[in-house]
Amino acid sequence: MEKILPLIIAPDPILKRISQPVEKIDDELKSLMKNMVKTMYFQQGVGLAAVQVGVLKRVLVMDVDYEIDENSNHINHKNCDGVHVKNTNPRYFINPEIISKSKNDKSYNEGCLSFPGARAEVYRPESVVVKYLDYEGKIQEEEMTDLMSVCIQHEIDHLNGITFVDHISRLKRDLIIKKIKKNSQ
């Protein structure tokens, strides 16, 4: 049974640490990934890196297409934890690496579950080719564009100890951190 994991919130120093490669895909790792997906849906994010739930492994999950199910009417909320989504297509990425990037950059207004309420324009390559292991441990290589490209780059950054605010000016970054600290008191 999947569970919602607590999020690591900035400026927690673990977010600056580099995640370690996964050596073995086992039931424990698969359980972690399922819990990460449930956590991502609960928090209404489109991507989540393991470091954001305190695990320093090179694992991330994404789903850029799902929808919140406003019409979820059922009696027993014990098993759902209030997670009501539809059109789900969770994706699992183990040891992902970007093997090529487009020359053209594009800006996107990014947010991050570890930076609640914060958003900023970030410039990233328009498309990327990513090599990774899927949920079953099979090697995959895929070109990603649009929101998939933004999301995978954002999440791989997390695995390398980089957050989206590292891509913006120091002044804007400091303001975001100050606001998050204030709101967490």
Told to judge if 155 belongs to the known catalytic residues of this protein, a careful annotator would answer: yes
Residues 6+ apart with CB under 8 A from 152: 47, 60, 62, 93, 96, 98, 128, 130, 144
Give me 83's structure tokens. 């997670």
Residues 6+ apart with CB under 8 A from 87: 65, 66, 67
Task: Give 85's Cβ-side CA count (13 Å radius).
Answer: 21
What does the DSSP 8-state code read for residue 27? H
Catalytic residues: 155
